[in-house]
Structure 1
């Protein structure tokens, strides 16, 4: 037994049946200590655990009940302070803090200082402003403290310090029926009020329990071994703990791991799930790590992203949410919900969730109806922003409490506890807070709360590894102890003064207010007591390299001190200590058994056996398939892994398939992309993604401008007028505004600034269009003329062909096309030209690029279609399309026009036959140029650079005859 347990045993032996109260910081602490005493073979009866707060409630409980006073939850204190700050700033009563906004950071710093003042029983009335380095600062803190006291009184609240102060007042009249013996560990740093209360109750019946101490010149007592190691990063440091336990066959419930840094809690918690072992954490884990915590975090991210469906989809797929249909009996699966949201085309924006209702009515989907019902009810609960962009924070918290309660999938006891803690905290804030803030501020505030909220605290349990802060290590009596995180940055850390109450001010205010140097000494003392109390095996470690920040870390001075003690040599320095450690522990398990599959693969790799095909292929068939593809791509001839398929018989396909010009141009751009899109029919998800810098994507912008230009030209032609800037500028702007408003409803802009910028660009494009039209000599005749799209489209447009056009390939085959001609103009008697609007850049439409290797054949195909349409519209005449081309009526296109004279249709037939030959031979190899890759949807599929490099090698190898049609295609400039 250590000295603390020995002292307890002596008291229990001296007073075996008398009532004894062990006063410790928490009930859990006392339970662990009493249990450890029993495990050491010491019997005891009538020994109860108490805390200062528990004692205070025993004394003041009736007083509080009679006056309907409730205790202020610790998580709510900073919200009370920030509300007081905001109120005082609005009234102009602050002078020192008047230039600083009432932020979470300022409120947190002030809250910590105010609580320290109250723990020393310093009141607002007793605080003297002149004791501060600035009297204005002192006056402000005095005022804030007085307002805090007034707030508690007005709301019938009492914080822990207030409860202790009240109990101290009532203790003189508090009579206990029995003589009670009080036991108190000597090393606990009690606050002045706590110490006053304990002394007032215990009097002469207080036994102070001494503990082991770590002497400068004496080695640690009671340890069979003391060892050290260092590691690459926190995770490897913790993995080494588990490796040593596994190698030594040490049961988990014989081990305590103490940490100095909160990062170790989340890392160990993650390892416990990965490696499936039991873990208890004395201080509990962050609510962020639980299902309800992740749900709240996801909801906050969703709200903060302007209700982006992308964020909501991630939350749905996480498995932390549950959405029930049929009155809560049938669950909508995450993938069903994601598919519904994508198909509804919401994207982002609270108002756009109305599209889900439209989708539900259109599709009659039962799951969509239930999802819509759930999401609409959630959105309606959230408060609306006022004209200044603020929301009532209390209402926001109450709504979030309901949402978390409704949506969280509870997977175990920890989630159940976390759900209770989180929702009660949110409800508490909702009842207290009258703050108004922006959505972003509210989200940030609650994110901070969630980070600091702990749940699931537990003492050591059978069969489970115990994790504890070094501050609570002294209570545990397990025989194996690992202390991790002993780098100089983590322990003892740097000496920092409180930013609100400086040390010089603390000395003047109250002689028991802790100074920064006292806090550092308290850390060192606590660690020394903890280490001195250990019995059995002790292992001390630190991360010598931070893998996140990519920097070296140095050991804490404490490690050198212990090393000197172990070697009985006070002259040893850090170089001696570091050389004794050897190589740092890394990702490989070395000679030990691997903990998991990852470590096993690392060991295999280290042994040089990773690239034995049987090892990998036996475990991962997909990797084996990938290796087969890599090997095939090294061959001189293209294989199926390059897109080379068996030859195809297109005779039947040509008779049934109707092409569009864009399909043929797509094939000419990259056969492999064509194969994925049109043969395998692999389509990228059509998701509307939030981009804070962009409203409309190029395709949508082009569709909008096409509609504007078409409507405008139809109206001008119906009036029998020619486009004119002065006469038609307002008309064109009105048409554009109508289309812009329509798209604004369909796709909400990310911000007013982005919206206005793009609207101005659209208006500028309209101006470019109208200016160019004034200079055009041709007579606009028909607009948005369909062919091959059926009679309904022809009726809607007023002209066109219901059937597709058919082009004779002069080898017994025909190829059919469909499409929509943007406009047909008349340039003379029975002489016409065909135009297609392009709203992008004219860079790729050079004067010498008539077909551009098959990537620009629309003008030639549409010229043929236009002639057939004109013959139908003007029976008995012989209309000819002399020119076809492209108009660039936008700011980027600068109003340019690219004209192609319609001639040599035999060359078009040969080009089409070449493209069909590529399909017939099944040679869907990627383009060797890579010029289309930047705009391609399939970069992740083909590997882009690797595919282009491979295609170049095959293209340049003239022995590869399968690519001859592709080589010929490059000649059609």
Structure 2
């Protein structure tokens, strides 16, 4: 008789007396009863129970009568943590001496060891430190267990081991049928014997599956694959090809955490309905993904990139009917926050003042939301997991779209954990530990848990829970030696030799492992019908080969009746490993699973009658387009793939349409037409997200803006806004510098005081360079950050020497009066003067600002009546910093006639749709579009000089030759 027969006989021995079937889990018990009913018909008077459930039911009244409360396991964890902290304070020379050592991993291990001691019936008085390899460790466990026992008594609590005291024998004639347990402790046996007494029957499993005669009647299929994904895909190919219903398949995983996500993704992709006995991690639903991501945001120091990633994936929403996720992403990326809790408020405050009306409203909403988050998060080392869970539950409820029941379950589980921990004295800790504890809690939550098989669906379970369903087909996945052998890992707090010395009731790790393995192997003998065995012969992640479990060889021997077969014979039976795109095995053995298998069929077709490239290009048009681009770029002629888009010339009446031109964009076009196209035509913006750098406070653009601000404020003050010659005063400059630095520190928090002090000193040295330059000048600064435009704020219209008219809008850093009706414009540069060589006046069209702004300022002075005889005769690029050494490049404004011709040729090239890459490949070195452009400038080298392209490139090449 097999296990099902023996269980049925026990139930039928006394049909009128109640029976209680004691099993490791309710799902196993119900599956066993279903199999009994399928084989013998209905049974009654049988109740399924676990040991824990039975004990709690038995002791509930007595605990209530004595006013004793049961201490849940998760509560005990936090109690032990607090006791460990107290012990570290009380005895600085103990085994765990510092609070920093009381981390989640250590607490969990100590909790496990104390639980094992309690379940073995060992009390603190029975522990002798000299029984341990390290007496300090033994003394520590003895003292900690003593503290724990005292705590239980003081607080009127009991844990599971202590329930023996409150158990009472069953009063009726209930028969207890105990399914053969594995690794039970002394207290577990005491509990069931005290309740059941002589009414206890232990039902053992059959002999191990690999030596069971009936098991050899199963139809056997074995295969191996090159990786876990390939293994699962091959199983699905076979599963879909079989005529039997899918709900006749049970899949048992030797490594559930490793294989369950792979199985889930393949089942979803192929539309195979499936249930998972142990469920799935919460990362497989929106709420769980959002909760884990926001914890990572806190752990990593609040980087903006985490928030934008969440917005893109749709697991974060900021309620606003007028703004999309893209609007919030752009606002966050352009804010310059980057990272750091204290950067959010300061930087958003300062950015809002410079935003337009529409952006300002969004900025205020974003500031309100983020400030609400930070207000509820603790500071310093005052973090607590219960408070963080409460914050997390509120975040999920308000800012995560809850689309499914899984999302709702995750939200409910987080709130339940928050409530549960709020009644426990958790204690304060660092944010890193609080996040780690909460992350562990979240990783323990499961979604889509179906403990028992569901009709119409494949059932996925672990190797430790499976084998009870009675389904016709069973597939054991991951049957490699490492996963199957259950390796023995010594407990560092309770070594086997120490266990033996402390108590005979403390189970040795090697004995526990042996028991679990024996029960597992015996339980699998319940499998009947068709059995698939598979394993991954190669682990791509660890880049190592794997061997099959010895049990695979034993099963092959059992079926063949040949005990002399070895692993070489097993290798021959298994054949070549299957791969994700499998081309080494006959296709008639499996069905076509997905498009990967379709392509594998093409590759297996050796007849040569199919046109592979035609099939690929038809299936993937984007790939065909890329190939076409490659062919055209290798051709001598210019094409759309080189940046020549069209020949659609815009009509012109002397004015460039009605649009204002930007000098910087004209210069950008002259330097690299493709960069201009990305930025100004397609309006693609490189991501300007600051990267956390412990050694840096201000970004380059922030530093430059700050110096411009300081120089302007100082000159405005000492010239009374340009109305008087400057009266220089170093103290005034230092006061302005200090105030500007204080304002910057409030809006842009520094990574550390040391870094802030260092950069402040650098800015003061830059200001000193600026002061020394200004002190010896005789010119009169008169306009600062002069806006070029009409009083109504519209672009001003310029007339160039050749009669061309353009609309221009911009700012000039500074205008100095250098003589009667004679002026010089100045543009501050905070870098070095390398690219501003004095011999390169226009530098191939890449330096037009000095000439165009000179004309603009001159005409502005005329139009506004500020100086109707004004002449701007010089333009200067000034470098008033330590890096620039206070130098300058000054250019006489005596080549204005050429300016119109240069602008005309550049605009003509634009109107031809010519946006080719840079002539100088060095321009690409610091280009922010490198990731989309690649080596395009190098490819264009030969085409620039080809005669066939001379007419198209004529205007642009003429400009490039102008110095």
TM-score, structure 2 normalization: 0.89
In 2, are the aligned partners of 1:642 and 1:925 still within 8 Å (CA)?
yes
Rounded Cα–Cα distance in structure 1 between residues aligned with 2:751 and 2:267: 41
User: Of 525, 532, 551, which residue of structure 1 is paired with 2:525?
Assistant: 532
Change (3 A) 1:56 1:937: same
In 2, are the aligned partners of 1:588 and 1:602 still within 8 Å (CA)?
yes
Q: Which residue does the alignment assign to 2:390?
A: 398
Q: Which residue does the alignment assign to 1:255?
A: 249
Q: CA deviation at 1:153?
A: 4.6
Rounded Cα–Cα distance in structure 2 between residues aligned with 1:406 and 1:787: 45
Q: Which runs of 5+ in 2 are unaligned?
A: none
Q: Which residue does the alignment assign to 2:123?
A: 123
In 1, are the aligned partners of 2:226 and 2:537 still within 8 Å (CA)?
yes
Change (3 A) 1:402 1:19: same
Q: CA deviation at 1:960?
A: 0.8
Q: Which residue does the alignment assign to 1:944?
A: 934
Count of residue pairs brought into register by the alignment: 943
Rounded Cα–Cα distance in structure 1 between residues aligned with 2:195 and 2:302: 56
User: Of 403, 406, 416, which residue of structure 2 is paired with 1:424?
Assistant: 416
Q: Which residue does the alignment assign to 1:732?
A: 733
Q: Which residue does the alignment assign to 2:5?
A: 6
Q: CA deviation at 1:573?
A: 4.0
Q: CA deviation at 1:118?
A: 1.7
Rounded Cα–Cα distance in structure 2 between residues aligned with 1:113 and 1:629: 66
Q: CA deviation at 1:539?
A: 1.8
Rounded Cα–Cα distance in structure 2 between residues aligned with 1:155 and 1:686: 57
Q: Which runs of 5+ in 1 are unaligned?
A: 794-800
| Residues 87-108 of structure 1 deviation map (CA, whole Å, 9 limit, x = unaligned) | 3223335511115621112112
Q: CA deviation at 1:497?
A: 0.9
Rounded Cα–Cα distance in structure 2 between residues aligned with 1:933 and 1:82: 57
In 2, are the aligned partners of 1:650 and 1:920 still within 8 Å (CA)?
no
Q: Which residue does the alignment assign to 1:170?
A: 166
Rounded Cα–Cα distance in structure 1 between residues aligned with 2:63 and 2:211: 52
User: Of 931, 954, 960, which residue of structure 2 is paired with 1:964?
Assistant: 954
Q: Which residue does the alignment assign to 1:664?
A: 666
| Residues 385-429 of structure 1 deviation map (CA, whole Å, 9 limit, x = unaligned) | 14xx44244322332233334445444444443333332123222
Rounded Cα–Cα distance in structure 2 between residues aligned with 1:542 and 1:960: 61
Q: CA deviation at 1:457?
A: 4.7
User: Of 444, 456, 461, which residue of structure 1 is paired with 2:436?
Assistant: 444
User: Of 582, 593, 596, which residue of structure 2 is paired with 1:595?
Assistant: 593
In 1, are the aligned partners of 2:275 and 2:453 still within 8 Å (CA)?
yes
| Residues 486-509 of structure 1 deviation map (CA, whole Å, 9 limit, x = unaligned) | 223323254321011111111111
Tell me which moved more, 11-20 or 207-216. Answer: 207-216
| Residues 949-970 of structure 1 deviation map (CA, whole Å, 9 limit, x = unaligned) | 3322321323212112222222
SS in 2 for 1:657: strand
Q: CA deviation at 1:179?
A: 0.5
Q: Which residue does the alignment assign to 2:49?
A: 50
Q: Which residue does the alignment assign to 2:265?
A: 270
| Residues 669-713 of structure 1 deviation map (CA, whole Å, 9 limit, x = unaligned) | 111222333334444567677666654332232222111111122
Q: Which residue does the alignment assign to 2:781?
A: 781
Q: Which residue does the alignment assign to 1:761?
A: 762
Alignment of 1:435-474 (within 5 A): 435-455=427-447, 456-474=449-467
SS in 1 for 2:877: strand
Alignment of 1:735-814 (within 5 A): 735-750=736-751, 752=753, 754-774=755-775, 776-786=776-786, 788-791=788-791, 803-808=796-801, 810=802, 812-814=803-805
SS in 2 for 1:221: helix
Change (3 A) 1:956 1:520: farther
Q: Which residue does the alignment assign to 1:798?
A: none
Rounded Cα–Cα distance in structure 1 between residues aligned with 2:323 and 2:683: 28
In 2, are the aligned partners of 1:777 and 1:827 still within 8 Å (CA)?
no
Rounded Cα–Cα distance in structure 2 between residues aligned with 1:416 and 1:67: 39
Rounded Cα–Cα distance in structure 2 between residues aligned with 1:401 and 1:444: 16
Rounded Cα–Cα distance in structure 2 between residues aligned with 1:130 and 1:24: 39
Change (3 A) 1:606 1:960: farther
Change (3 A) 1:552 1:367: same
Rounded Cα–Cα distance in structure 2 between residues aligned with 1:339 and 1:836: 30
Change (3 A) 1:681 1:169: closer
Change (3 A) 1:773 1:180: same
| Residues 775-823 of structure 1 deviation map (CA, whole Å, 9 limit, x = unaligned) | x545242342525323378xxxxxxx98343213x3x533343432222
In 2, are the aligned partners of 1:822 and 1:836 still within 8 Å (CA)?
yes
SS in 2 for 1:391: coil
Alignment of 1:348-367 (within 5 A): 350=341, 352=344, 355=348, 363=358
Q: Which residue does the alignment assign to 2:647?
A: 646
* 2:899 maps to 1:908: yes
SS in 1 for 2:843: coil
Q: Which residue does the alignment assign to 1:89?
A: 88
Alignment of 1:326-365 (within 5 A): 334-335=325-326, 338=329, 350=341, 352=344, 355=348, 363=358
Rounded Cα–Cα distance in structure 2 between residues aligned with 1:701 and 1:16: 88
Rounded Cα–Cα distance in structure 2 between residues aligned with 1:251 and 1:339: 50
Q: Which residue does the alignment assign to 1:819?
A: 810
* 2:30 maps to 1:31: yes
Q: Which residue does the alignment assign to 1:138?
A: 138
SS in 2 for 1:656: strand
In 1, are the aligned partners of 2:789 and 2:808 still within 8 Å (CA)?
no
Change (3 A) 1:681 1:293: closer
| Residues 245-284 of structure 1 deviation map (CA, whole Å, 9 limit, x = unaligned) | 1122332221221112221122222333333332222233
In 1, are the aligned partners of 2:592 and 2:598 still within 8 Å (CA)?
yes
Tell me which moved more, 931-940 or 612-621. Answer: 612-621
Q: CA deviation at 1:665?
A: 0.5
| Residues 636-686 of structure 1 deviation map (CA, whole Å, 9 limit, x = unaligned) | 322233322114125155153332321211111111222333334444567
Alignment RMSD, CA only?
3.5
SS in 1 for 2:466: helix
SS in 2 for 1:314: helix
Q: CA deviation at 1:525?
A: 1.7
Q: CA deviation at 1:462?
A: 1.0
Rounded Cα–Cα distance in structure 2 between residues aligned with 1:745 and 1:609: 72
Tell me which moved more, 851-860 or 763-772. Answer: 763-772
Q: Which residue does the alignment assign to 1:796?
A: none
Change (3 A) 1:316 1:39: farther
In 2, are the aligned partners of 1:671 and 1:923 still within 8 Å (CA)?
yes
| Residues 729-773 of structure 1 deviation map (CA, whole Å, 9 limit, x = unaligned) | x43333233333434444444555554444343333323333444
Change (3 A) 1:421 1:722: same
Alignment of 1:479-518 (within 5 A): 479-518=472-511
In 1, are the aligned partners of 2:220 and 2:530 still within 8 Å (CA)?
yes
SS in 2 for 1:475: coil
Q: Which residue does the alignment assign to 1:857?
A: 848
Q: CA deviation at 1:187?
A: 4.7
Q: Which residue does the alignment assign to 2:678?
A: 676
Change (3 A) 1:768 1:260: farther
Change (3 A) 1:382 1:22: same
User: Of 692, 700, 703, which residue of structure 1 is paired with 2:702?
Assistant: 700
Change (3 A) 1:292 1:969: same
In 1, are the aligned partners of 2:24 and 2:181 still within 8 Å (CA)?
no
Change (3 A) 1:3 1:762: farther
In 2, are the aligned partners of 1:260 and 1:469 still within 8 Å (CA)?
yes
Alignment of 1:284-323 (within 5 A): 284-321=279-316
Rounded Cα–Cα distance in structure 2 between residues aligned with 1:904 and 1:713: 30
In 1, are the aligned partners of 2:855 and 2:872 still within 8 Å (CA)?
no
Change (3 A) 1:843 1:878: closer
Q: Which residue does the alignment assign to 2:514?
A: 521
